[in-house]
Structures are given as C-alpha cells and as structure tokens.
A and B are shown apart, each in its own frame.
Chain A
Amino acid sequence: GAVVSQHPSRVICKSGTSVKIECRSLDFQATTMFWYRQFPKQSLMLMATSNEGSKATYEQGVEKDKFLINHASLTLSTLTVTSAHPEDSSFYICSATRLDLDQFFGPGTRLTVL
C-alpha cells in the first residue's frame, strides 16, 4: 500500500510554455501533499505544502505565480509550471502523507525546458 504516482514521468517543452504535473495517491487519502524539486546531486528542496480545498503554502523564495498548485481532491494535486524557462529544468517530486503522517513519494517528473 501507500503508492503515489506522478504523470508525466518526463516532459520536454519549449521555453515559454506551461507544463502540468499530476500527483496522485493511489490507495490512500492524503491529508497533505508536498511538492519538491531536486537538482542533480542535491537534496530535495521543498517548494510548497498543499491541502485539499485550500491554498498552497509556498516556501520562501518560491514564486507562487510561476508554480501554480491545485489540490482538487484528497488523492490529486497538480503543479503547473507557467511560462517555463531553461532554469526551471529540474526533477520535480511530490509526496503525500497518510493519517499516520508517514510521507510517501512519487517517482518524480523530469522537466527539460529547451
């Protein structure tokens, strides 16, 4: 149990376009979902915390107008990278917490902006 999926696993887009990444908890209802980004050989950097039905809480330095988060249900959260630029190229990972507060991660989405 405790499976989190992400879609797509990999996306390549042109500069200036918007990209949507989906995060789903497949076999549990997630009280909270988190979005991280990870640069090569670096640890996870928390971008935002998302609760169903409420606005996401963004970490300092993360532009909320650029990284739009929608938490539509207890099993689905989406991250939209708006007007993507090459510096947004990264590995984006979501996680979801169960009621027992264990946090489970998705497989990640590799975004490449040309």
Chain B
Amino acid sequence: QKEVEQDPGPLSVPEGAIVSLNCTYSNSAFQYFMWYRQYSRKGPELLMYTYSSGNKEDGRFTAQVDKSSKYISLFIRDSQPSDSATYLCAMREQGGSEKLVFGKGTKLTVNP
C-alpha cells in the first residue's frame, strides 16, 4: 500500500460545479497536509495548508482533514475554467524530515 493514494482522474466538470478532490494515507504520523495546484509544464503552486485535523477555507477553496479516517479533501466551489489543472495532495510528519510525500495528482478540467 502506498503512503498516499490519490485518484488520478481525469475529472471533468461543467463551469460552476462544486469539485471534490480526495486523498487517503496510511502513515498516522502525518500532521501537515497541503494541496498544490500544477498547471501544465509549470511547477506546483501551494494552494492550501492545514495542520492536524479540521477545516480551512480560502475563498472558493476549502480543505478538510479527517485524521481518524486518514482522509483529506479539497473542495472547489463555483469552479472556473481557470481551475483546470492537476491537483496534488502532499503531507509530512511533524518534526524530523521536511520531506513531503505526494499523491499522484488528479487532473481536473472545468468546461465552460
């Protein structure tokens, strides 16, 4: 079992839809959870960052962490064509290594 599992999609939705992206993980030591957005041929861009469990909202984006289920989500409200990208979840343990463990990424297309 990989440390972080993420459905690669692709996921295609109409403009204005609510998008739900998810990752599961197996390492209970993970405490920091990130979502990155990567446009084609570009480096990943940090979107959301959450420590431990709970929700975090930033504009149209909401990140949720459920440590009891080892499950994290990213919701995108009122999705726009400009949201079309690959979304990568990433996580790391508290203390020790700063290395991130990434999911495979989910390719999202928002159709106008």
- In the complex, residue of chain A having the shortest beta-carbon distance to the beta carbon of B94: A101
Cβ of B41 under 8 Å from chain A: yes
- In the complex, residue of chain B having the shortest beta-carbon distance to the beta carbon of A6: B43
Interface 9-residue window, one of B61-69, B71-79, B102-110: B102-110
A42 adjacent to B100 (CB under 8 Å): no
- In the complex, residue of chain B having the shortest beta-carbon distance to the beta carbon of A104: B46
The B contact surface, by secondary structure, is: loop
What's the interface size class on B, roughly?
Answer: 20 to 34
Cβ of A110 under 8 Å from chain B: yes
The A contact surface, by secondary structure, is: strand
Number of A-B contacts (CB under 8 A): 48
Residues of A within 8 A of B36 (CB): 105
Q: In the assembly, what is the distance between CA of A41 and CA of B41, in Å?
A: 11
What residues of chain B have their CB less than 8 Å away from a CB belonging to chain A? 8, 32, 34, 36, 41-46, 49, 88, 90, 97-100, 102-105
Residues of A within 8 A of B44 (CB): 44, 93, 105
- Closest Cβ–Cβ distance, residue A55 to chain B (whole Å): 16
B99 adjacent to A49 (CB under 8 Å): yes
What are 9 inter-chain pairs, A to B, with CB distance below 8 A?
A41-B8, A43-B88, A43-B105, A91-B41, A95-B43, A103-B100, A104-B46, A105-B44, A108-B41
- Closest Cβ–Cβ distance, residue B99 to chain A (whole Å): 6
